[in-house]
Structure 1
Amino acid sequence: MQIKKASFLRGAVGPSQYPDDGFPEIALVGRSNVGKSSLINRLINRKNLARTSAQPGKTQQLNYYAIQSDIAPFYLVDCPGYGYARVSRTEKEKWQAFIEKYLANRVPLVLVLQVIDIRHEPSKDDIAMFNWLMDQDLPVAVVATKADKVPKGKWQAHTSKIMRALDSPKKPLIFSAESGIGLDQLKDLIEELVEPEEVEDIE
C-alpha cells in the first residue's frame, strides 16, 4: 500500500462532527506520549502532520486524518491518550465517555491499533483498555512501538511480557517510527482491511 496524500481533516468530540462519507476508519489508542503521533507521521511519510508533544494529554479530541492510498481512501483517528494527562478527573471522564462511545458505536471503524511501548510491561490502563476492546468484540491489533530503543535480541522477551500481561495469544506488531521497523507489516495489515472501491477521493 502506498500513501498518495494525507491531511488533517478535523477534531471531533461527538457524532455530529464525524465524517458521513462511510470511508473505513482506523483508530489509535494508547497511553499519553506512547508514540501514536509519531506512528501516524511515519505511516504517511510526513514529519509533522500529526503533532507530537512533550506534554502528555495534549490531544483532547478525536483527530481525524484523511488518507488517500493506492488501495482506497480511509481515515486514521487519533484518540486522546490515557494515563498521564494532567487534567481533572471530570475532564478525564468526559474524554473517556466520548472515546468509548466512538469506539463502541462507530460503524465505519475497521480496526483499533492499541499502541504500547515495547520497553515496558502494559500498565493497568493498557490492560483495562485492551479488556474493554475485547469485551466490545472490536478488531484490535497491538503495536509494540519504540522498538529501536531495545536490542533486537530482546524483542521476543519484551513482546512475550506484553502478551502475558494482556492475556493475549496474538503477538504484537513490532514497530519503530524512528527506524521504520514494522512499517511494511503495518501497511499490509491496513491494506487487508481497507477494501478497494470505486469511490471519489476524500475532499
Structure 2
Amino acid sequence: MKIKNSDFVTSAVKKEQYPTTGLPEIAFVGRSNVGKSSIINALTNRKKLAKVSQTPGKTRLINFFVINNGEFHLVDLPGYGYAKVSKTEKASWGNTIETYLSGRSELKRVVLLVDSRHKPTADDIQMHEWIKFYGYDEVIIATKSDKLSNNELRKKEKDIRETLKLTKEDTLYFFSSVNKKGRDELIDNLFNILVENE
C-alpha cells in the first residue's frame, strides 16, 4: 500500500464526537514519550501531521486523520503513563482510550508502540491486555530502534515478547522514525488488514 496523502479530520473525547463516515480505522497507542507522533509522521511522510510535543503527555484527545482521500482513518490515541500529571487526569485519559476501544466497529487493528530500549512498563502490559480483551487485531512496534545494535535488538525482542507474554503469532516490528528503515514494508504489514477485509 502507498500512503499518497493524509489530512487531519477531527479531535474527539466522547463517542458522539467520533467521525460517522464508517471508514475503517487503525489506531496507534503508546506511552506519552514513545514517539507516537513521530512514527505517524514518518509513515504518512508528513512532518507535522501529528503534532510532536516537547512536553510528553500533551495529547489528551483522540485525533482522527483521513488517509488517501477517504481510504481509511488513522487514529492517534492519547499517550498514557506520563508521571507528571495528576491521578485524576491519568484516569480521564484511560477512560478516553477505553471508551474508544469498547465497541468501535470501524476499528480494525490497534498498533501498540513500546520503547525498544526498555522493557514494557505496567501501563504497556495493561494496554496490551485491553486490546486483547476487546478482541482487536494487534501489531506491536518497538520504536527508537536506531539507538540499538543488532545484538541489543535481539535481546530487547526477547524482553518485549516475554514481558507482554506474546505468542509466536503475535506481530512485533522494530522501527526508527529517524532512519525510516523498512518503512514501505511496515506500511504494507500494518495496513494489509484493510485490503483483506474488503
Question: TM-score scaled to structure 2, two decimals?
Answer: 0.92
Stretch deviating more after TM superposition (75-84 or 86-95): 86-95
Determine if contact 2:67/2:73 at 8 Å carries over to the other structure: yes
Q: Secondary structure at the match of 1:141?
A: strand
Note the residue ranges of structure 1 that are not aligned, 5 or more in a row.
199-203
Partner of 2:8: 8
Stretch deviating more after TM superposition (85-94 or 135-144): 85-94
Stretch deviating more after TM superposition (80-89 or 22-31): 80-89
Distance 1:182 1:98 in 2: 32
Partner of 1:201: none
Equivalent residue letter for 1:52: V
After TM superposition, give the deviation of residue 183 of structure 1 in Å. 1.5
Determine if contact 2:32/2:82 at 8 Å carries over to the other structure: yes
Determine if contact 1:118/1:144 at 8 Å carries over to the other structure: yes
Stretch deviating more after TM superposition (79-88 or 29-38): 79-88
Equivalent residue letter for 1:133: I
Determine if contact 2:81/2:90 at 8 Å carries over to the other structure: no
- Establish whether residue 131 from structure 1 lines up as the match of residue 145 from structure 2: no
- Establish whether residue 48 from structure 1 lines up as the match of residue 48 from structure 2: yes
After TM superposition, give the deviation of residue 195 of structure 1 in Å. 2.9
Within 5 Å, which residues of 2 pair with 1:71-90?
73-90=71-88
How many residue pairs match? The answer is 196
Note the residue ranges of structure 2 that are not aligned, 5 or more in a row.
none
Q: Secondary structure at the match of 2:39?
A: helix
Distance 1:197 1:137 in 2: 16
Taking only the aligned residue pairs, the percentage that are identical comes to 43
Deviations 1:132-179 (A, max 9, x none): 211222111110111101112321111110000000023511111111
Distance 1:127 1:95 in 2: 16
Determine if contact 1:24/1:74 at 8 Å carries over to the other structure: yes
After TM superposition, give the deviation of residue 186 of structure 1 in Å. 2.0
Distance 2:142 2:59 in 1: 21
Determine if contact 1:174/1:181 at 8 Å carries over to the other structure: no
Partner of 2:180: 180
Partner of 1:28: 28
